[in-house]
Structure 1
Amino acid sequence: MPTFVYMTRCDGCGHCVDICPSDIMHIDKKYRRALNIEPNMCWECYSCVKACPHQAIDVRGYADFAPLGHSVRVIRDEEKGTIAWKIKFRDGREKNFLSPITTKPWGSAIPDFRNEAEPSAEMRNSELLAFEPESIRLDDGGLHTLKSNGLKLKEGVYY
């Protein structure tokens, strides 16, 4: 069930692009709106649907799996900290589910690695990392940082 974007609701914020695990949500360069560039590769994880603050992304059901007349809508309310699922069945019945987005306070589950100590040489040379790539083992002796690699974190994106 691939995703599609309501172009009139999308403002091109890019939340869906940042969260898509299969990297198929992109921003159209001409219209500055999100689009699914490869619908057949969609994992149907609903990450982009849940991440969209404007409810601009929906999921199209396959005709043999979900006959005409059904819908699954997701509405996220960050102020209340809830996510609502509205499911409309083919026969017209509707079910609504309301769940907390997280059970922990916002930001409390995101570790701050900036204050962590650098791994020791003994830890880096451990046999546990023997078959890992050099970038993980840090064979050059130093600790790689985002700055040393010319990278930076995007504000508002949790990694």
Structure 2
Amino acid sequence: MKKFLMILFATLAFCSVAQAAIEVYDFDNQQQEKQFQELSNTLRCPKCQNNTIADSNAGLAQDLRQKVYVMTKEGKSKAQIVDYMVARYGNFVTYNPPFNWSTAILWIGPGFVLVFGFTVIVLRSRKAKKVTPDSTWDEDKEAKLNELLNKKQHGEDE
């Protein structure tokens, strides 16, 4: 009997945890549900950096999902909901921010870094070629090397 009660208690404990993670949203039609799913997978959680509000379990993401749900139920369009989120949280909430002065670095920055890096690499490689000493081996160098080796073998010090 004791074993049965322990199994029952463990089962109920795990069921309650699993039940708490499920959010159920009721929609009037299929179009609203589709819009909600698209927006939930398109809008970024401001707290979680690179998670959508659908993927994040942060409190802010839950609030944003709820707001998207309410606005969808009110009949707001996708553009109106995105505009509301951008007005409230900035362009960061969209994965594809518009090109303007405040986001120009996001669009131009990677190209600039690539061009700058490539230029530095080319200039340094050209400079390295110019600085390399003449690598020709002549008889004077061979004689000097043999002399040093002979001194080393006979234990002579300079």
Q: TM-score range by the shorter chain?
A: under 0.3
TM-score (norm 1): 0.22
> Between Structure 1 and Structure 2, whose CA radius of gyration is higher?
2
Relative to total residues, which structure has the larger strand share, 1 or 2? 1
Relative to total residues, which structure has the larger helix share, 1 or 2? 2
